[in-house]
Chains A and B, each alone.
Chain A
Amino acid sequence: MAVGVTSGSVGVVSTRTARLFDTSEPLALAGGSQLSPVDVAFETYGTLNADRSNAVFVCHALTGDAHAAGLHEGASRPGWWDNLIGPGKPLDTDRFFVVCANLLGGCRGTTGPSSTNPRTGRAYGLEFPLLTVGDLVEVHRALLRHLGITRLLAAIGGSLGGMQVLHWGLTRPDEVANAIVIAASSRLTAQNIAFSAVARRAIMADPNFAGGDYAANDTSPDVGLAIARMMAHITYVSEDALTEKFGREPHPTRTKPGFGIDFAIESYLDHQGQVFLERFDALSYLYLSRVMDYFDPFAEPDALAAVRANPVNWLVTSFDTDWRFGTAHSRRIVRRLERAGLPVTFREISSTAGHDSFLMPVPTYHATLRAYLDRALAEVSR
């Protein structure tokens, strides 16, 4: 462990990249088109055991990336799920081999709409093909083949990450022994789609969006993307959490009422929007949010046939203050799985943090994941 890194951390890590599809072997997308090359940014923590039975794949959410744990060289902020992944943590890297990859369509090292289109030599923009959750999972599967892993001890993810886990467990049950679906949905509601529609409109109506060709103009639709993030962020936290944190506190520089940043909450949201611009791309936001809108795995004919024949163990959890993908979304998933006779565990975790709870070290939540993962590992170690 590197000096200065606190115990329980995987230490200093770096993101690697692998070319998983190329012109000789392009990625066949669910929509019928082909994509190449496809490069994937990923990180791994811990050690793959001799019989390759301790691998856990972490699927990230809409705006995540491959850097789930530890510190990049010189960085002060750890990866986005560092409270879960590390020595002695629920995803104990002394025992599990953890893989996390940036999603297809993303902007953090994996091929996405702002990558260069080899046909034109310019960024794809809106010529990038539309994606499905299944396409994201296909790329994860290619990464596992690249790493020499044929079966996961577990796949785990929250929100869009949980949707990937759900798809994976349903369609490739032979590859996933345990599927952990957190604060996710099997079918977005009109309200869910509505929020994303406003976010996308904010991006696309920004003059700098330029029909998606903003890279050619060396600009980006920062105003639209920041607004999209500000609004989405409101849906990720609960009303009570915002009240507790900000109440109606004035912003320190407020002198008289106006249309600036008068309240502390406005300053906070503005900050959320601005920092988001440093790490996210507007086109990725469009593509990946659209992926969620169309996800409806149980509508597929024989959606449960494969997993019925080859049962996967499921853990589904929701959070009581989540109003993005609240408990009703998780219950729908549980109902489908349980009625197919599958082993499914469900918990509604109490937390004040809303949808973002899945990223927080909520004690009951982590105790649940720890018990579940320990049992999963004990079962293959027998």
Chain B
Amino acid sequence: MSLRPELALLAGLIPSASRVLDLGCGTGELLAHLMSAAGCSGTGVEIDDDAVVAAIALGVPVIELDIDNQLEEFADGSYDVVVLSRTIQTIRRPVEVLQHMSRIGSTLIVSVPNFGQLRNRLRLLRGRMPMSPDLPHPWYDTPNLRFTTLADLEDLFATLELSVERRIVLRQDGRPARTDQLLANLLGAAAVYVLRS
């Protein structure tokens, strides 16, 4: 199975044989790959009906629950890695979710689209809400509830005492950018963070 570039990147950050909790696992591609290619075990969490059925068809254990309100179902320290891939911008209570993640696992992997990317800023300057391949939804029909730039997000990580072990800035095509880290918030389309609780 060939993974989308960003999922391949996430998979590369997860040690083999890890126990992985993937919050917002979608169709379960990442976990299916980790289970078959890296000897990992784990659980996906998803709430979209079609995605859940697709994950089941891939043989991925998937638990249907609301990430915002029901993460207490998972025990302290019960996973090695907790993944929140392109999901933090869609949840109502990102602080509580990040706190639960750091309770459940020791390594957190969070990927986010960057609302602070230059092209988004330019659209706002022109009086238009940001839309891009990473933010493809019009304002009136978007799953995204929380709009954050990389700089804002990193402030939150600091507040929650989550240390950023790695940050990988992504280009529009989902591949790592070679951009100057200082310009990440301006040029990155998205970013992947490896955090330690």
Contacts and interface: CB of A to CB of B under 8 A. Distances in A.
Given A341-B19, A341-B41, A343-B41, A334 B53 contact: no
A348 B64 contact: yes
Contacts of B59: 375, 379
Interface stretch (B73-81, B114-122, B126-134, B144-152): B73-81
| Majority SS at the chain B contact face | mixed
A375 B75 contact: no
Interface in B48-92: 49, 52-54, 56-59, 61-65, 73-75, 78
Nearest to B54: A371
B43 interface: yes
A372 B74 CA distance: 23
A348 B64 CA distance: 7
Interface in A29-57: none
Given A334-B73, A335-B73, A338-B73, A368 B61 contact: no
Interface residues of A, number: 23
A347 B54 CA distance: 13
Given A341-B19, A371-B53, A346 B58 contact: no
Interface string B18-59: 010000000000000000000001010000010011101111
Contacts of B62: 345-346
B19 to A, nearest CB: 7
Interface string A318-341: 000000000000010011001101
B77 to A, nearest CB: 11
Contacts of B49: 364
Nearest to B78: A339
A367 B43 contact: no
B43 A375 contact: no
Contact of B63 (A338, A364, A372): A338
A138 interface: no
A341 B19 CA distance: 9
B41 A345 contact: no
A232 interface: no
Nearest to B50: A367
B53 A346 contact: no
B56 A368 contact: yes
Nearest to A334: B63
B41 A368 contact: no
Given A368-B56, A375-B58, A345 B63 contact: yes
A371 B41 contact: no
Given A338-B74, A341-B41, A364-B49, A347 B57 contact: no
14 contacts: A313-B61, A331-B73, A338-B74, A338-B78, A344-B61, A345-B61, A345-B62, A346-B64, A346-B65, A364-B53, A371-B54, A371-B57, A374-B57, A375-B58
Interface of A: 313-315, 331, 334-335, 338-339, 341, 343-348, 364, 367-368, 371-372, 374-375, 379
